[in-house]
Amino acid sequence: MSPVHVRAEPGDFAESVLLPGDPRRAKYIAENFFDDARLVTEERGMLGYTGTYKGEPVSVQTTGMGSPSASIVTEELIQLGVKNLLRVGTCGGYHQDLQLGDLIVATAATPQDGTVSSITQGVPYAPAAHFDLVHAAHHAAESAGRRTFMGPIVSSDLFYDPEEDPAQMWSNLGVLAVEMEAAAIFTIAAMHGVKAGCLLTVSDTIGREAVVRIEDSALKDAVDNMMALALDTLNALN
């Protein structure tokens, strides 16, 4: 029986899956990076594709925005036999050294959200990326000569944060950036004994005089580069 939201059958997805939030990005990845890509699910517009990259099977599945949506997709992909989950997305950079277009390999994700707290029933928990994915991503980025930062991020429920200066608070704690899904993905993966990681491209810098947004053409180039690195990261696990 197919899962409720990711309408697919065991075998439709490869063991390694990229997780972008945006269905258009999932489609773009499949069409531009996969060989022999095929659509395996489109339930609720949450597009998923399977193909190959450098001869190895790989899939991409939309998570939607925020931890509640990402947690549903993560649970159901694991039900379908997925073993390696790699979030690929954009983020707001908090750290003063970050520049637009920089790559972040997340080592952990502070859960500033309600989903992880609900899963753990309020017990304090520190969601972390699996070392194998962090290690493989670091070496892929190093080999490509990509400007890369490694460290913790924060996953927030809010895109429009009412906090007056969140960047100051989080950067003082060594947190590099903010996004909205990784903490839930890390938590659920750990609960089921599968591997999860997260690569992010800095699309905004936050906490300087004003929020600065990357230009669309520069974002496309940076994200394309991140996708190739993400796929090389997953292939390194085979």
Q: What confidence tens digit (pLDDT) does each residue in 197-225 have?
A: 999 999 999 976 678 899 999 999 999 99
Phi-psi region of 36 (alpha: psi -120 to 50; beta: other; left: phi over 0): left
Q: Which residues are catalytic?
A: 204
Confidence at residue 126, expressed as pLDDT on a 0 to 100 scale: 97
Q: Residue ranges per domain, the chain?
A: 16-235
Give the CATH architecture of domain 16-235.
Answer: 3-Layer(aba) Sandwich (3.40)
Give 3-state DSSP helix, strand, coil % of the chain, rounded to 5. Answer: 35, 30, 35
Identify which of 148, 77, 130, 107 has the alpha carbon closest to the alpha carbon of residue 236: 130
Which residues are CB-contacts of 93 (< 8 A; sequence separation ≥ 6)? 99, 100, 102, 104, 176, 177, 202, 204, 205, 206
Confidence at residue 208, expressed as pLDDT on a 0 to 100 scale: 67
Confidence at residue 209, expressed as pLDDT on a 0 to 100 scale: 66
**Backbone φ and ψ of 105, nearest 5°:** -100, 110
Q: Where are the alpha helices (DSSP H) in the chain?
A: 23-33, 67-79, 114-119, 131-144, 166-172, 182-192, 216-235
Strand partners, 150: 105
**Backbone φ and ψ of 121, nearest 5°:** 55, 40
Task: Measure CA of the first residue to CA of the last residue in the chain; give whole Å.
Answer: 28
Q: How far apart are CA 49 and CA 52, in angstroms?
A: 10
Across 109-144, b (16+ Cβ under 10 Å) vs e yields bbbbbebbeebeeeeebebbbbeebbbbbeebbeee
In total, the chain counts a number of residues equal to 238
Which pTM value belongs to this model? 0.96
Contact 14, 59 (CB under 8 A): yes
pLDDT less than 70: residues of the chain: 1, 208-209
